[in-house]
Chain A
Amino acid sequence: QKEVEQDPGPLSVPEGAIVSLNCTYSNSAFQYFMWYRQYSRKGPELLMYTYSSGNKEDGRFTAQVDKSSKYISLFIRDSQPSDSATYLCAMSGPSNTGGFKTIFGAGTRLFVKA
């Protein structure tokens, strides 16, 4: 079983739709949860960063973390064609060798149709 599971999609929605992207994980030691956006195989860019459970909102983006269910979500409101990209979830926690490790999901490809 992978430590982080993310549906690769693709997910196609009309412009203006609310998009829901999700990841599940198995390692209860994960403490920090991130969402990255990656355009056309360019470097991933950080969208949202949350610590522990709860919600965080930034403009049209809302990140939710439910540690009891080991489930995180990213919601995009009023989606735009420019939101078309691959969205990667990522999680950080203590590693077996000391320090912290970050594990990325496989990424979900999102297409927003005009």
Chain B
Amino acid sequence: DSGVTQTPKHLITATGQRVTLRCSPRSGDLSVYWYQQSLDQGLQFLIQYYNGEERAKGNILERFSAQQFPDLHSELNLSSLELGDSALYFCASSVVAGTDTQYFGPGTRLTVL
């Protein structure tokens, strides 16, 4: 158990809908990262927050957004969902930002029908 929690574990929804994925980092970690993993794309970095502020952006679509709250938990919002958004979404956390070890949560499996 990495200490990073993600909810829900599974999510099934329809195209065009909006969903919110939630992540709680390890106690003491200030940085949160979001990744998407699909079968044909591997692990893709989406976005990183550090102590409430956006720190780095990867291949995140404009339909996706995220935020980190004062209690350091983070939410990833996915809107206007498409079939191709079906994937595992992982959250990771680290103490500071970028150069230190990232600990991954168990992931949320999103299925868009």
Contacts and interface: CB of A to CB of B under 8 A. Distances in A.
B2 interface: yes
Counting contact residues on chain B (CB < 8 A from A), the size range is 20 to 34
Contacts, number: 64
Interface residues of A, number: 25
B3 to A, nearest CB: 11
Nearest to B91: A43
Contact of A95 (B4, B50, B56, B102): B56
B1 to A, nearest CB: 10
A102 B45 contact: yes
Contacts of B33: 102
Interface of A: 31-32, 34, 36, 41-46, 49, 88, 92, 95, 97-107
Given A43-B4, A43-B107, 9 more contacts: A31-B99, A41-B37, A44-B43, A44-B104, A46-B101, A46-B102, A102-B33, A104-B35, A104-B45
